[in-house]
Chains A and B, each alone.
Chain A
Amino acid sequence: MKEYRTIAEISGPLVFVEKTEAVGYGELVHISLADGTTKRGQVLDTSKDMVVVQVFEGTAGIDKSSGVKFLGETVKINVSKDMLGRILSGSGEPIDGGPPIIPEKRIEITGAAINPWARDSPSEWIQTGISTIDGMNTLVRGQKLPVFSGSGLPHNEIALQIARQAKVVGKEEEEFAVVFAAMGITHEEAQQFIKDFERTGALKRAVIFLNLADDPAIERLITPRMALTSAEYLAFEQDMHILVILTDMTNYCEALRQIGAAREEVPGRRGYPGYLYTDLATIYERAGRIKGKKGSITQIPIISMPDDDITHPIPDLSAYITEGQQVLDRNLHRKGIYPPLNPLDSLSRLMRLGIGEGLTRGDHDQVANQLYAAYAEGNDLRGLVAIVGKESLSERDRKFLEFAEMFENEFIRQGRDEERGIEETLKIAWRLLSTLPKGVLVKIDRETMEKYYPKEQAAPKKEPSEKKEETPVEKKKVTPVKERVVKE
């Protein structure tokens, strides 16, 4: 393989090489430095005059005399079932001191699009044990459902709680694994995940890719693709159900912005490249189910919203691609409510494919709609109360105001290890709804009311009912985790 010493220019993360033979678009590049180290990169633009290379490990230390080799192939990853239980770098090298991974296959990490005709419709709902999710924004196997968060909010705890508790009721025996990709998060955060995986025994069934805050930024462009390529292999060739956690996608986007700036591209909104949507789609769309395959890929990307701004291009474009979003709310967090998931901003587009008669329960959809409407109305009234005082509210409005309070404290709020079954979630829902006049429950049709409206009088007092709900849960708390560990 020919080594060129024809670097013409180095600019940010980019290296411009001239007088090469024909180089393929997207080819993998090795750059060897005077000190003997090698950096890796990828061809971004190739012509007869000049080849532009983006360097994953950063261009520090590269000079015009560095040697450049074009490897004639694109970026690939070695995959095998032995990846389970391993910790790899952001570019797929083992960093846990274990042996190299004996590849069963080498796969290009770019990943082609799944033919829409080959996709199978996601239909199995995942019980996360978290009421706001299961009750109002149900997660479905094969869905891509990000968590939108902000600095200091407990997105990691929630992601971990989901990873611990997630199960498809009645199918607990199926092979499942977590693929975890860290991009630019701190050591501490990464440890939080790894420790928790260790504690619950999930580590054995996890593949971990780590690009941490002090790792090269441009490497973040390949980390999620490495992770998803492994996930696809495990899901569609090894029949496993894979939960992919990507954190933090905001750091990924920053890396992309850096490349755009270095190439002097015309920037789009707030300096992000105009192709951010398309680029993110090539990550998020790598989730789902395929006809005739047993496995599945469910994605939970974590995205921190700069300034808690959901209209920022990163969360905004993400939500335009993903199948909904779970949004953390700083106000709920300040009130001390965990999980501070705001159902009003949140959405699960695939929810209705997984719920209903025979799946969760016949009333689920309508109950969820009614909860939304009622909580939204109560929440709006809070603003009004601040201005005009509670006294000027009508009786009806007061009921909604109280509903909003109860809803946050009894439905949203739950323990970090509390796992609620769907029946329990719906029971709480009906109990809260029945504190409202029957006449306002317009989202629920007559049949459903007749069948599910609680027969006994509603218990409007909070204290006793809350206790009642929590006791059985406390008992349940550890068992599911243990069970899973033992079985596997």
Chain B
Amino acid sequence: MIENSDESGAKDGAGEIYRVAGPVVTAIGLKPRMYDVVFVGEESLMGEVIGLVREKTIIQVYEDTTGVKPGEEVVDTGKPLVLELGPGLLSSIYDGIQRPLPVLREKMGDYVERGVTAPGLDREKSWNFVPSIQEGDQINGGAIIGTVQESEHMEHRILAPTDAEGTVQSIKEGGYGVEDVVCTLDNGKNLKMMQTWPVRVPRPYKEKLMPEIPLITGQRVLDTFFPLAKGGTAAIPGGFGTGKTVTQHQLSKWSDAKIVVYVGCGERGNEMTEVLTEFPELEDPWTGAPLMQRTILIANTSNMPVAAREASVYTGVTIAEYFRDMGYHVSLMADSTSRWAEAMREISSRLEEMPGEEGYPAYLSARLSEFYERAGRVTALSGSEGSVSIIGAVSPPGGDFSEPITQGTLRIVKVFWALDTKLRERRHFPAINWLTSYSLYLSTLEDWFTKEVAPDFLRLRGWAMAVLQKEAELQEIVQLVGSDALPEEQRLTLEVARMLREIILQQNAYHKVDTYSDIKRQYILLQSIKKFSDLATRLIPLGISVEVIAGLNSKLLLSKVKYEEKFDEELDRALNKMEDEFKNLEAST
């Protein structure tokens, strides 16, 4: 498997350790290429070449290096870090370098010890391969050659490697392992269900398409106010505890992606456990199958080796691209990209590289844009359309958005969901600041919303935004003189804005009903508030006070409709009550 391209004197890719400093090992006597995978020391710890300085090779080691000594052997595999792609990926949980965590537990017990390798895909398992091409067909790289039903609702489309081209000489059907040959081309090339792909290299596609379809998430503040397009990029920055993880979990649960890849990059162990215990119990809202069946988890928690943390986001995005190439919409969550950047910083500082801003390596922003650049809606090599949407959490120190990762990310992504500590403190969840957040996809998504939701959807959204803007201005006055000093119309604006905040913007992820809000219902709720506002506006000149209007029963009913299992019924009740109450008020003048 190792292609030995080395013609110089160095003997077959073996050298020795010169220095060990934490996760960074320096070796001598090797002639590797950048990013080659190497095995380090007596325990054969896996590492990757990240620097070549004169006769020295700098290696980041994916496992703990305690006890490793200078003089121990280092072996170069001559190959970069690759992933195994094929049936069996779905519902898996891997560490940052695609070692299946259940297998690691079998081999080493409850703790992640070192020196254990495990293939990403199960070799024992047999999958029923159904060809979708025939002998004599001409195929190109990336073509779909057959399918495997991974679970009831998940069809794994088997792709030819991107460099496989030719005429099909033979193709099989039936139960095979991932390494069995299922197809042979006339040029002698053998195709298996499994292929490998280097993690740091983006997978090719035919062409990029416009981001014209929204990723519907069932979260009102996201879908209605700051929508993300399928194939788009979004950042969720926020201080600790502001809701990055909950938002990403919500997106993983409810968004209308076919596949979800969740990368827990340098975050908490218990959060992974939560996904692992919750998702198998939850239903995929779009297919009814257990949610876990469409999910792949990469879990490299904060206390697992930093080098593997650095690799974990690449592992995630490569898997996402692979499913995109089958013609699926994939969303990739990276929680948190700050921990990824910190891993880069940690490694870089051990290399004694020239630090850039706040100690981050100078290539930080290049890495960030390369990563987000791997998002997109594309026509795949197979001709089908798929997408990778990337949603990256950012954890700014002290919650201060002026730091390099937040700023570097904002220069790249098109959607900005700004989490706000102040909102979190008053349990306004999701704590997304509606004044500072934005989506640059609004115009490209306009047609979709107009056609699929309602012609006036965006107009309604514009109205709501304007009310909220106005509220912010009025609040400044209130801070100086108190709300009593405001004229009635303005007090009504404050009241309507409060309704928008409490009914639309706030959404309890843990409430059984409120956790997901259908896009049509989002629209109806908004419309109802607008109606309330319009009716109230008519009454103010007639001398009805805002105090009275704010105390209306229908307003209370409206504020609770979102919690109701019988949404439509309760909404009608609220709307009827609203008509009645306003009529009565008007009659009373």
Contact = CB atoms under 8 A, between A and B. Distances in A.
Please say whether chains A and B are actual partners in one complex.
Answer: yes
Interface of A: 22-27, 44-48, 74, 108, 110-122, 142-143, 236, 265-269, 274-275, 277-278, 281-282, 285-286, 288, 290-291, 293, 311-313, 316-317, 319-321, 323-325, 344-345, 347, 349-350, 352-353, 365, 369, 372-373, 376-377, 380, 383-384, 387-389, 391-397, 437-439, 442-443, 445-446
Nearest to B511: A445
Contacts of A281: 266, 301-303
Nearest to B245: A349
Given A22-B69, A112-B64, A394 B301 contact: no
Given A47-B19, A316-B398, A369-B508, A392 B485 contact: yes
Contacts of B273: 116, 119-121
14 contacts: A23-B70, A47-B18, A115-B110, A117-B104, A119-B270, A119-B272, A275-B306, A275-B346, A311-B397, A313-B397, A344-B425, A376-B427, A380-B426, A392-B481
A114 B67 contact: no
Given A46-B69, A281-B303, 12 more contacts: A24-B66, A48-B71, A115-B109, A116-B299, A268-B359, A274-B345, A274-B349, A278-B306, A290-B110, A345-B425, A380-B426, A392-B483
Contacts of A345: 425
Contacts of A380: 426
Given A48-B71, A114-B269, A117-B93, A373 B427 contact: yes
Given A23-B69, A269-B397, A445-B563, A117 B105 contact: yes
A320 B547 CA distance: 42
Contacts of B110: 114-115, 118, 236, 290-291, 293
Interface stretch (B158-166, B376-384, B458-466, B553-561): B553-561
A134 B577 CA distance: 39
B534 interface: no
Nearest to A281: B302
B349 A265 contact: yes
A113 B18 contact: no
Contacts of B18: 47-48
B251 to A, nearest CB: 18
A392 B482 contact: yes
Interface in B44-82: 64-72
Contacts of A116: 93, 101, 264, 269, 272-273, 276, 299, 301
A13 to B, nearest CB: 17
B283 to A, nearest CB: 19
Contacts of A365: 510
B69 A278 contact: no
Contacts of A44: 21
B547 A311 contact: no
B346 A112 contact: no
Contacts of A383: 479
A121 B277 contact: yes
Residue among B67, B268, B272, B301 having the largest count of chain A Cβ atoms under 10 Å? B268
B112 A113 contact: yes
A113 B111 contact: yes
Contacts of B240: 316, 319-320
Residue among A48, A313, A395 having the largest count of chain B Cβ atoms under 10 Å? A48
Contacts of B478: 384
A267 B355 CA distance: 10
B131 interface: no
Contacts of A74: 66-67
B551 interface: yes
Interface in B283-319: 299, 301-304, 306
7 smallest beta-carbon distances between A and B, as pairs = A392-B482, A47-B19, A376-B426, A281-B302, A311-B398, A26-B66, A445-B563
A392 B484 contact: yes
B345 to A, nearest CB: 5
A291 B106 CA distance: 13
Contact of A24 (B69, B301, B395): B69
A113 B303 contact: yes
A27 B485 CA distance: 72
Given A121-B277, A268-B358, A316 B70 contact: no
B7 interface: no
Residue among A46, A278, A285 having the largest count of chain B Cβ atoms under 10 Å? A278
Contact of A115 (B104, B239, B355): B104
Chain B contact residues (Cβ within 8 angstroms of A): what range? Answer: 35 or more
Nearest to B483: A394
A281 B302 CA distance: 6
A393 B482 contact: yes
Nearest to A51: B70
Contacts, number: 237
B274 interface: yes
A282 B303 contact: yes
B20 A113 contact: no
A439 B426 contact: no
B65 A25 contact: yes
Contact of B556 (A113, A396, A439): A439
Nearest to A311: B398
A26 B67 CA distance: 6
B154 to A, nearest CB: 21
Contacts of A316: 239-240, 397-399
B551 A437 contact: yes
Given A266-B355, A274-B359, A394 B484 contact: yes
B400 interface: yes
B302 A321 contact: yes
Interface string B530-547: 000000000000000001
Given A115-B104, A388-B482, A446 B359 contact: no
Nearest to B509: A352
A113 B306 CA distance: 12
B241 interface: yes
Interface string B481-504: 111110000000000000000100
A453 B480 CA distance: 36
Contacts of B270: 119, 121-122, 142-143, 288, 323, 350
Interface string B90-125: 000100000001101100111111100000000000
Contacts of A377: 426
Contacts of A293: 110
Interface in B221-255: 239-241
A389 B65 CA distance: 64
A48 B19 contact: yes
A397 B479 CA distance: 13
Given A114-B269, A288-B269, A387 B510 contact: no
A47 B64 CA distance: 17
B21 A45 contact: yes
Contacts of B572: none
A388 B93 contact: no
Contacts of B339: 277
Contact of B20 (A25, A143, A266, A267): A25
A396 B299 CA distance: 48
A321 B428 CA distance: 22
A369 B427 contact: yes
Contacts of A266: 349, 355, 359
Contacts of B68: 24-25
A408 B276 CA distance: 39
Contact of A112 (B113, B277, B359, B425): B113
A112 B240 CA distance: 25
Contacts of B426: 344, 372-373, 376-377, 380
Nearest to B26: A47
Contacts of A282: 303
B564 interface: yes
Contacts of B256: none
Contact of A285 (B301, B359, B428, B547): B301
